[in-house]
Amino acid sequence: MSGPVPKVDFARLATVMTASVMSATIWAHPAQAAPRRFDVPALPLEQGLRRVAEQGQVQILFSGDQVRAHRGVAVSGTLEPEAAFRRVLSRSGLSIRQIDRRTFIVVSPPAPVAAARPVPRPRAVDTAEPVREVVVVAQRVVLNPRQDTDRFDGSLSAPQATAILSRSDLEHTAARNVTEALGVLPGVTVLNTGRSFSGGVDSASRAEGLFSAFRGLNTEFNLNMIDGVSLAQGLPHSRGVQLNLLPPTGFQLIVLSKVPTPDMDGDVISAAIDFRTPTANDFRARQHLSLSVSAYDNRRAETYGASGLGGGVGVEYARRFGRDERFGLYFSHFEDRRRYANSEIAGIMSAQNDAGWAYLWSDSPKGTLPAGTDPQSLLTATALNVGVSTGESRARYDVLTLTGRFDDQWDGWLRATAAHNRTEQNSTLSQVVGRSLSWTDDARGRYRLSVGSVSTRLWYETNPDLASLSAVSLGARRKTGAWTFTPALFFSQGRSDRPGRIEASVRLDQVDLYNNAQRRPYAGLLIAYENGFPTPQLTPDLRADLDMVGERLLARRAGQFTVQTSRQYRQGARFDAEYATDDKALRHLAFGVKWSESAREVTDLDWTNAYFADLLGRGGVTWQELGLIRGYYDEVFPGRFDWRVPKVDHNRLADYFNLYVTPQSFDTCATLAVNNDNCNRQHGRESVAAAYLSARWVIGQLEIAPGLRYEQTRIDNRFWVIPAPPTGVSEVPGHWGQSRTTYGVGLPSVRLNYRPDEDQVWRLALWRGYTRPAFMLLGSGVRYQAADDGTPLLRQGNPSLKPVTALNLDLSVEGRTPGGTRYSLGAYAKWLEHYLFDSGGSGGDVLFGRTDMRLLTPRNGGRGEVQGLEAEGRHDWSVAGGTLTVGGTLSRQWTHVNLGDDELGRDIAMQNAPDWLANLSTTYRYKRATVTLSAQHTGAYLSSYNALGVSGDWDNVWVRPSTRLDLAADWQVRPRLRLSLSATNLTGAYSYWAHVGEDSLALSDIIDSGQRLSLSLRYDY
């Protein structure tokens, strides 16, 4: 061969590979790939090359240094892939070379002959061999075997406002699940309290991110998808999805669309989140295998002398095969086991379950609130629960993806994802409950509170959780000329069960057929406060009671047992069609139809056994005597309270329950067995038919994308009806009832993108969204019950509820400066109608909105409004031979809503909408090591409404501001071996602190989960 050889930098090529590896059939003679339709705007050259490769269904190989300083030229029309590459490279001075039918490489211009000189002997990762041997180098050096997407570049080129988490982002985080990982995005609030059968402090005591809220709206206003499949909603009282089931390392990309597109389900107001699983084409090598092992340590458990150790294993395999590597297989399996023991204060629980609150002083001996006085200023606790919550969680996650390119027109795929989590949670709570409250005249016109007696108790409860989530899609894509047709079938399943909850207790003042014990006498205030932290004021007798509950307190019932299940199954089909025009302005038209049907099942059954003393025929029975205590934790709340708390023998308690359970124990909601078996069962079926139409015009630098979607929904519910009994009859057998609800909603939208150059885009979007009510609100069981004053009430669902609708406005600008700073600034507003709120999993009256004299049923609220500002940025510096990256997000939110009731509030904040959200991260990369220090701040927010059920809208549960500091580090020990370390909550801040009243800490729930360490090792073959 004569003449100069094109220069290719093989050393950097091997370490910063940015697209798919070349085919193993590299020695075959190149053949021209079929013409394809291309529509690629002017982008940074790296992005432009990727887009051409994706649309041309070919592979491209290049060095990052080759393209970093260049901008690509826009490509539009039907071209052969090689011609499209030449077009995008036309202003860069670079050229394209075809290696085989589907693989291309970017080459630099030849070096001047006069500058030629002998080439020194290269290092192991360098090569001077011909281009056709590059594949050997790429397969041998495995610093990053996966393709990746820069989150800012990906968002900049997207057709709508998005926030992206790439695989690299997910791997360099201290998050345990995708809920926590989403917390780094602007506007996302991570919630660690539940919307399932258990909520409040019970779920918060797991100290794990469970749900995500976005832009001032609760989790049920999100649309959650895996690979475009809308996920089934397994929660009993909400349309939210429990995202903590999904691991952060299980996805190739997470795309949060701030502005949903017409082809997405319209049941969304806040954000559409798509979790995209990997395929074989996301790996550089033709075949990839990786094995990983992890170890975890929850440090708080050590303060109880318990184990917080856990671990996990994972395997990931990908392979492309067939002629021209047309087919791909990807499989991954991850499983882990985690243990925890966290400290718990449950003051709100005491206030709600034991009436454990009062006013410090009054203007009368009745203890009522003085007129004109802020109730929060006088609020105090008269009871408190303190204890430990221990548990173990076992999780499993599997992904299977098959992809195929059958010919130049046909593509197909099968994608399946399944996540399963089983948690055993046991909480043991010491209790002091003040009774005999009095308000005594202080001779100055005020009556001061005094607690006259105290009941000491211990309560043991379990909150087992069995949750699963799965999604399957089978589809194909057919290209015929300018048309692209995409039919698909899909299935999703969601499950949230509490399969075997059991509780039992002991107390000093047990009263039954054989015991008539009394409370301890007391005088004064039972609870004091140290910097807002509730602290019981214990006499020697009270302390001894708590320290020796096994001997001093009397056993109550032989267990209360609950079985709760909630599941949804969703399946359907869709057909999408797109027409790519040759018109310079109208670039494409798209339309589609979709049908889905889902089935819903909810069950809640309860059994309550008699008292131990009545069963055994004698008084004075203790847990120590019954063998229910197998030791003690030395301190109930290490660092705060040092009395002991017992370790309850769970299996022995279950044996006692099974021994003494009788037909009379069955007491779900009535007396008759048929009513108890069915009163809390609900069956629902939802059918949704949808059609959409969208278009995209490009006029100069302006992109206009109007769209219209229409959804028709029918919801059929079947539930149990217990009629009002006739005079003289306590109860009559019930029967099944039915209801039907239909909705027809049109959802117009328009999106504008203005791109003055390839480094910036201005966006404006106006769109309409809606959210359907939860099944339980529409068709819960019908039965009569007594109000507090004895008035009979009819409790039932409301099939006439309206969906929440919203008009949404979104403004943003994204870009990067010549100096390399990447930024995104945004503003948004949402105007809601017919607001509905979530009960927080309480299952009580709050779920139903409000109470009338004769009817207890859910009702829509009024109007609500959300406004917000967002900012995100990142900048890189070269420091001491490495790269320092500083990035962050900042969000400010304002919300208010009319809940439709004076007691709940006519102008009040929305749930789970912090005023401020912020993230700051600093990353330093040096050679093969990366260290990231991140801080996450969540401002105060309202969590649930009307906690105490009193008049006025002040008694809402608020969550205090929190700031958490995390550390994550990676070290590429060898080209194929990677070590990762993370430490969460370095400062040891409380993971959860909720309180009743925005300006009072008197009634507080507090969780101390300490620090968490994680170590993982991954080997790539």
User: CA 391, CA 302: separation in Å to the nearest integer?
Assistant: 14
Tokens at 860, concatenated: 């829509």
Please tell me whether residues 819 and 918 are part of one structural domain. yes
In a domain, 148, yes or no: no
Say if CB 305 and CB 311 are below 8 A apart: no
Residue 433 pLDDT > 70, yes or no? yes
Are both 76 and 207 inside the same structural domain? no
CA–CA separation, 607 and 673 (whole Å) = 11
Asked, for residue 459, whether it belongs to a domain, the answer is yes
For residue 100, the enclosing domain spans 35-107
pLDDT above 90 for 96: no
pLDDT single digits (tens) 344-398? 999 999 999 999 999 999 999 999 999 989 999 999 999 999 999 999 999 999 9
- Those residues with Cβ within 8 angstroms of residue 121's Cβ, 6 or more apart along the chain or in another chain: none
Nearest residue to 147 (alpha-carbon basis) of 9, 278, 320: 278
> What is the spatial distance between Cα 126 and Cα 111, in angstroms, rounded to a whole number?
18
Is 626 in contact with 559 (CB distance < 8 Å)? no
Of the candidate ranges 31-40, 244-253, 799-808, the one whose mean pLDDT is the lowest: 31-40
Domain-located, residue 772: yes
Task: Name the DSSP letter for residue 259.
Answer: S
Q: CB neighbours of 118 closer than 8 A, spacing ≥ 6?
A: none
Among 107, 130, 149, the domain-final residue is 107
Count of structural domains within the chain? 2
Q: Which of 525, 567, 569 is nearest to 437 (CA)?
A: 525
Q: Note whether 84 and 218 are same-domain residues.
A: no
pLDDT, tens digit (0-9, with 9 covering 90-100), for 689-728: 999 999 999 999 999 999 999 999 999 999 999 888 888 8
C-beta separation of 389 from 342 below 8 A: yes
pLDDT at res. 195: 59
Q: What mean pLDDT comes out for the span 743-772?
A: 95
Contact status, residue 827 vs residue 745, Cβ threshold 8 Å: no
Cβ density class 599-631: b for 16+ within 10 Å, e for less:
ebbbbbbbbbbbbbbbbbeebebbbbebebbee
> Residue 427 is inside which H or E element, if any?
strand 410-441
Give the tens place of pLDDT for each residue, 575-595: 999 998 877 889 889 999 999
> Worst-scoring range by mean pLDDT, 20-29, 168-177, 534-543?
20-29
Closest CA to 527 of 732, 710, 381, 409: 381
Answer whether residue 844 shows pLDDT above 50: no
Cβ-based neighbours of 651, under 8 Å, separated by 6 or more: none
Angstrom distance (rounded) from CA 928 to CA 143: 8
* CB 211 within 8 Å of CB 243: yes
Which run of H or of E encompasses 511?
A: none
Distance CA 783, CA 678 (A): 11
Please count the helices (runs of H) and the strands (runs of E) in the chain: 18, 52
Beta carbons within 8 Å of 71's beta carbon, 6+ residues apart: 42, 43, 44, 45, 48, 91, 92, 758
Q: Determine the pLDDT at residue 80.
A: 83
CA-nearest of 842, 858, 840 to 911 is 840
Whether the pLDDT of residue 25 is over 60: the answer is: no
882-911 confidence digits (pLDDT tens): 999 999 999 999 999 998 877 788 889 999
Q: What pLDDT score does 793 carry?
A: 65
Residue 354 has what DSSP assignment?
S
Same-domain status, 187 and 51: no
Q: Which of 858, 850, 854 is nearest to 801 (CA)?
A: 858
Residues 380 and 285 in one domain: yes
Torsion of CA 199, 201, 206, 208, to 10 degrees: 70
Six-digit token string for 61: 């190989």
Residues 741 and 818 in one domain: yes
The rounded distance, in Å, linking the Cα atoms of 63 and 60 is 10
Residue 935 maps to a domain: yes
642 and 551 in one domain? yes
pLDDT of 849 = 40
244: domain CATH number?
2.40.170.20
Q: Examine residue 968 and state whether it is found in any structural domain, yes or no.
A: yes
* Share of residues in the chain with pLDDT > 90 (%): 66
What CATH number is given to the structural domain containing 74? 3.55.50.30
Do 90 and 200 have their domain in common? no
Q: What is the pLDDT of residue 573?
A: 97
Identify whether residues 788 and 889 lie together within a single domain.
Answer: yes
Lowest mean pLDDT among 83-87, 170-174, 478-482, 674-678: 170-174
What lies within 8 Å, CB to CB, of 757 at 6+ separation is: 42
Domain boundary among 89, 107, 125: 107
CA–CA dist 888, 825 (Å, integer): 12
119: in domain: no
Separation CA 175–CA 170 (nearest Å): 8
Q: Does the pLDDT value for residue 55 go beyond 70?
A: yes
Estimate the crossing angle of helix 45-56 against helix 81-88, to 10 degrees.
170
DSSP code of residue 299: G
| 819 part of a folded domain | yes
**CB contact set of 95 (below 8 Å; sequence gap of 6+):** 6, 86, 89, 106, 107, 109
Tokens of 714: 């029918």
Average pLDDT over residues 519-534: 95
Which residue type sits at 270?
S
- Whether 100 and 168 share a structural domain: no
What value does the mean pLDDT of the chain take? Answer: 87
474 vs 281: which has the higher pLDDT: 474
HSE toward the beta carbon, residue 494, CA cutoff 13 A: 29
Q: Are residues 87 and 171 in the same domain?
A: no
Q: Quick check: helix, strand or coil at residue 895? A: strand
Answer for the pair 1002, 984: CB distance below 8 angstroms, yes or no: no
Find out whether 32 and 408 touch, Cβ atoms under 8 Å: no
Distance between CA 396 and CA 737 in Å, rounded? Answer: 39
Structural domain ending residue among the three candidates 60, 88, 107 = 107
Residue 134 inside a domain? The answer is: no
**Length of the chain in residues, anyone?**
1021
Distance CA 775, CA 780 (A): 8
Comparing C-alpha atoms, which of 359, 348, 563, 356 is closest to residue 457?
356
- Paired with 229 in beta bridges are 226
Q: Could you list the beta-strand ranges (E) of 54-209.
A: 59-61, 75-79, 95-100, 103-107, 162-166, 188-191
The DSSP call for residue 910 is: P
Residues 85 and 188 in one domain: no
Digit-coded pLDDT (tens) for 904-948: 888 899 999 999 999 999 999 999 999 999 999 999 999 999 899
pLDDT value at 839 more than 60: no
Question: Is-contact 316 332, C-beta < 8 A?
Answer: yes
